[in-house]
C-alpha cells in the first residue's frame, strides 16, 4: 500500500514469482543439459568442465576459457558458433547477445517463452560458471584510472544477474569454491535442488553488488572536488562466525 492506494507491479501477468505461479518453477529440482563457462579465474574450471562433460552436459565457452578446456581435451563449443556473431572491440562484447540471454532468462514453464525461443532458434542454458575481471586486484595493485576501467567486467556481471534472476531454471556459479558441491550433487542425483539454486543466486547477487560497490568507491577517489560522496556503498565478507551473540545463548 502506498498512500492508501494498492500498487500492482506492471507486467506481472503470469502469477506471483515468489509463489512460483505461472511459468516460474521455484520449487522443482532441475537437470542440467547445457552449460556456459566463461571465467577469468580458471581455478578448477577444467576439472569442473570435465565432470560436466562426463555427465553428458553440452559445454559452451568463450575465448581463453574455451582454449583452456580445449587444451585439456574437454569437448567445448565456442560461443561464436552459437551467436553467429564474432567477439568485437578486443573482447569487450562477446556474451551480450539474445541467443545467450534469451537462453538464460526464458521461463521453462512458460509456453509463450519456450515458443519464442523455438521461433528464434535459441536453446535454453541451464548452468553458468562466471568469474569476473579482477577489478579489485587491479586497483589494489596500483592500476591507474585507464587500466582500472579496462578491468570493469560488463558481460560477466550481466550473465550472473540474468542467471540469478532466473534461478528457478538456471544454476549460477560465481566462485570456483562452488564447483565441487554442485558437481557432486549432479553426480548423486542428476539434478540441482531449489535450495542450492537459491543459495547460489544470493551469492551471485552478493558478488555483483560487492563488485559494483568497489567500482563506485574507486571512482569516488577521482572526484576532483574531494567531497564526501552523496552515496557511500560498503561491502564486506564474513571472516568467521562469532562464538556467541550479545548474550551467550544467542548465535553470533
- The per-residue pLDDT for range 46-90, each reduced to its tens digit, is 999 999 999 999 999 988 999 999 999 999 999 888 888 777 777
Q: Is residue 7 part of a domain?
A: no
Looking at the predicted structure, is the pLDDT value of residue 95 above 90?
A: no
Looking at the predicted structure, is the pLDDT value of residue 163 above 90?
A: yes
Q: Strand, helix or coil at 171?
A: strand
What is the Cα–Cα distance from 180 to 43, expressed in whole angstroms? 12
Q: Is residue 113 part of a domain?
A: yes
Residue 18 pLDDT class (50, 70, 90 cuts): very low
**Owning domain of residue 160:** 34-220
Q: Is residue 195 part of a domain?
A: yes
Per-residue confidence (pLDDT) for residue 230, from 0 to 100: 62
Q: Is residue 115 part of a domain?
A: yes
Looking at the predicted structure, is the pLDDT value of residue 204 above 90?
A: yes
- Name the strand (E) or helix (H) holding 78: strand 77-78
Q: Is residue 214 part of a domain?
A: yes
Per-residue confidence (pLDDT) for residue 198, from 0 to 100: 95
pTM for this model (two decimals): 0.79
Q: Is residue 170 part of a domain?
A: yes
27-36, 121-130, 197-206: segment of lowest average pLDDT? 27-36
User: Which residue would you say has higher pLDDT here, 249 or 103?
Assistant: 103
Distances (CA, A) of 127 to 82, 196, 218, 236: 16, 13, 32, 27
Sign of CA dihedral 155, 124, 191, 74: negative
With a pLDDT cut of 70, the percent of the chain lying above it is: 78
Strands 77-78 and 58-61: parallel
> What is the count of structural domains for the chain?
1
- Provide the 8-state DSSP code for 5: B
What CATH number has the domain bearing residue 140? Answer: 3.40.50.1380
Q: Is residue 205 part of a domain?
A: yes
Gyration radius from the chain CA atoms: 20
Instruction: Supply 193's cell numbers.
Output: 535442488
Q: Is residue 101 part of a domain?
A: yes
Amino acid at each position: 500500500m502506498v498512500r492508501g492506494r494498492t500498487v500492482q507491479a506492471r507486467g506481472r501477468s503470469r502469477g506471483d514469482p515468489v509463489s512460483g505461479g505461472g511459468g516460474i518453477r521455484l520449487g522443482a529440482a532441475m537437470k542440467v543439459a547445457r552449460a556456459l563457462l566463461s571465467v577469468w579465474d580458471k581455478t578448477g574450471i577444467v576439472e569442473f568442465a570435465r565432470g560436466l562433460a562426463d555427465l553428458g552436459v553440452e559445454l559452451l565457452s568463450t575465448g581463453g576459457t574455451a582454449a583452456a578446456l580445449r587444451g585439456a581435451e574437454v569437448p567445448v563449443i565456442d560461443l561464436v558458433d552459437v551467436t553467429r556473431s564474432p567477439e568485437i572491440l578486443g573482447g569487450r562484447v562477446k556474451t551480450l547477445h539474445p541467443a545467450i540471454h534469451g537462453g538464460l532468462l526464458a521461463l521453462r514453464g512458460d509456453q509463450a517463452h519456450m515458443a519464442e525461443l523455438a521461433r528464434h532458434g535459441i536453446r535454453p542454458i541451464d548452468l553458468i560458471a562466471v568469474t569476473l575481471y579482477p577489478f579489485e586486484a587491479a586497483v589494489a595493485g596500483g592500476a591507474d584510472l585507464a587500466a582500472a576501467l579496462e578491468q570493469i567486467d560488463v558481460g560477466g556481471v550481466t550473465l550472473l544477474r540474468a542467471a540469478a534472476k532466473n534461478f528457478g531454471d538456471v544454476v549460477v556459479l560465481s566462485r570456483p569454491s562452488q564447483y565441487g558441491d554442485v558437481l557432486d550433487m549432479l553426480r548423486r542425483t542428476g539434478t540441482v535442488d531449489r535450495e542450492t539454486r537459491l543459495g547460489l543466486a544470493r551469492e551471485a547477487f552478493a558478488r555483483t553488488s560487492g563488485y559494483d560497490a568497489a567500482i563506485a568507491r574507486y571512482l569516488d577517489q577521482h572526484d576532483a572536488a574531494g567531497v564526501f560522496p552523496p552515496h557511500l556503498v560498503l561491502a564486506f565478507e564474513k571472516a568467521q562466525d562469532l562464538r556467541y551473540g550479545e548474550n551467550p545463548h544467542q548465535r553470533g
